[in-house]
Amino acid sequence: MGVMDVIRSRRSIRKYKKKPIPEDLLIEILEAARLAPSGANRQFWKLIVVRDEERKKGLVPLCRDQKFIEDCSAFIAAVDDPNQKWYRVDVAIALDHLSLAAAEKGLGTCWIGAFDPEKVAEYLGVPKGLVVTVCMTLGYPAESPEPRPRKTLEELVFWEKYGEKL
């Protein structure tokens, strides 16, 4: 499958099969995140991968009671230093690489932005001074959501300056 096919087919998955991801496949997907570019090639971000059932259940109330977290194969928390320039961008690029690699392998992901960063950081033992920037679920989809409507290029892209349509 080509990269554009993967991008077009990827969906946010909120229903997962209770099925573990083989270690070699998980490592391959994490490798995609590792290869992501970062500002000044700092590569400062870290990922915490939670697979233990009880640990995942403990994350649910810290993530605004999003129950599907319990069913995913792995919960991933991205950690970074808020004093580093562009840290949010670096983490987003890494997790997007991970998400696309997962989709290419038939796995689903869902970005988790609704969570208590301080409580999740404490729960996962994140050192003081670092922050949990964003989280993601990963697993085998138990649903196939239909594509959501997308704006056209003409609505999103300008040539040379703002307002100059395609």
Residues 23-50: pLDDT tens digits?
A: 999 999 999 999 999 999 999 999 999 9
How confident is residue 147, by pLDDT bands cut at 50, 70 and 90? Answer: confident
Q: pTM here?
A: 0.94
Q: Do you know the residue count of the chain?
A: 166
CB 75 within 8 A of CB 56: yes
The predicted pLDDT at position 1 comes to 80
How confident is residue 6, by pLDDT bands cut at 50, 70 and 90? Answer: very high
The predicted pLDDT at position 165 comes to 87
The Cα-based distances of 13 to 51, 69, 140 in angstroms read 17, 11, 9
CA 90 distance to own-chain centroid = 12
Percentages (nearest 5) of helix, strand, coil residues in the chain: 40, 20, 40
Q: Which domains occur in the chain, in start order?
A: 3-156 (3.40.109.10)
The DSSP output letter for 62 is: G
How confident is residue 127, by pLDDT bands cut at 50, 70 and 90? Answer: very high
Q: How far apart are CA 33 and CA 109, in angstroms?
A: 13
* pLDDT (mean) for 125-152: 96
How confident is residue 166, by pLDDT bands cut at 50, 70 and 90? Answer: confident
Residue 124 has pLDDT above 90, yes or no: yes
* pLDDT (mean) for 2-22: 96
The predicted pLDDT at position 31 comes to 99
